[in-house]
Amino acid sequence: MAFEAESDFSKQLTTRHKCSACYKQYNKKEHLVEHMKVSYHSVHQPRCGVCLKHCKSFESLREHVIGPLPKEDCSRVFSEQGCNLCLKVFDSPISLSEHKRSCRLPAPSPIGAMKLPYSDPIVVSHNGRGPGAIAIDCEMVGGGDDGTLDLCALVCLIDEDENVIFHTYVRPQISVTNYRYEITGLTEEHLRDAMPLKLVQEKILQILYNGESIVRARMQGGKARLLVGHALEHDLDCLRMTYPDNLLRDTAKYPPLMKTNLVCHSLKYLTQKYLGYNIQTGFHDPYVDSVSAMRLYKRMRAQDHPNDASEISTDAYKSQNVTSKFDSLRAKELEQMSPDELYEISRPNYKCWCLDSSQAIQP
């Protein structure tokens, strides 16, 4: 009996509790439970196509398969059958070769700095595919004594098919003290007959709200369009505009596209790593940047994740307590659950963009 008791005690000491998602192991079950509460594991996280390990972001997945210290087995398979852009793993090198032809996208042709007369926006119909998305990018010149105050001088909006629906120079409300020519390619001549900022605001909001009321757009979206961009707060600030948070799709703030420490990447980096071409090598072009942001958004939206109907709700990931399923159970109940059962009740702390393709226009 003493031997059996000693054996049971030894077994308890060597028992490890393994997370079903990221495979981390813990000596105590309570530590695994705490890990699950703060990790927000779900089917929406990036996963290794070889070992199926969940990663916080595509950056951590990239490190897992091709980083300085990759997982050896995964790295070997990925080197032969993995795509360096989307990080998917295919059945064979032949399948991979076919996939790469469509995964690596050509760089869009810049519009360039030219004299553009401003005109009425073109309103695009999205044929019932949901609210549709519009990408925006602004080029900014400097104001103030030291030229550090950002002033919008050029704005471009495109639709999901990369068609320009609004593109105009913008007349700043205060004097420009630095045209930042090395970056913008803009001079005083470009802004001489530019559209007043107030009129630019009206036209952009007309496109975005699409006839929907502001109240309904904030609550349910309705006919209002999703606004895609990179570091959108900077574009909206320089335009002196606001837009509902639930309709923003910011590639700088989307957790799967961020660094492992949740710091944002530049649009230039994301475009090179996930789309396969370079941008901003000379003058910055708002058309090229808005197309790149839209392509990143569409690539993330196209992620094939199993959808739970209960997850598709308006602003669910901002308004609900994502740990509520854990909080509703007592510690002892959680500790009695298996790792797979703990994973089943875990939810992400952000709204996956794949859910955008599942939502239809609200009647």
Answer yes or no: is pLDDT of 125 > 80: no
Q: Is 342 exposed, middle or buried (0-12, 13-18, 19+ CB in 10 A)?
A: buried
Confidence of residue 112 (pLDDT cuts 50, 70, 90): low
Among the ranges given (100-114, 200-214, 244-258), the one the predictor scored with the smallest mean pLDDT: 100-114
- Least confident span in 157-166, 281-290, 322-331: 322-331
**What rounded mean pLDDT belongs to the chain?**
86
pLDDT at 358: 62
Q: How far apart are CA 285 and CA 108, in angstroms?
A: 10
Strands 149-158 and 133-143: what pairing? antiparallel
The closest of 329, 360, 363 to 346, measured between CA atoms, is: 329
What's the confidence (pLDDT) of residue 324?
Answer: 62
| pLDDT tens profile 168-200 | 999 998 999 999 999 999 999 999 889 999 999
In this prediction, residues 231-238 reach a mean pLDDT of 96
Is 314's pLDDT higher than 60? no
pLDDT at 357: 80
pLDDT in tens, 187-234: 999 998 899 999 999 999 999 999 999 999 888 888 999 999 999 999
CA gyration radius, the chain? 24
**272 compared with 358, residue with greater pLDDT:** 272
pLDDT surpassing 90 at residue 133: yes
SS3 228: strand
| 275: CB partners within 8 A, 6+ apart | 85, 104, 105, 292, 295, 296, 299
Q: What is the pLDDT of residue 252?
A: 97
Q: How far apart are alpha carbons 267 and 360 in whole angstroms?
A: 29
Q: What is the pLDDT of residue 260?
A: 80
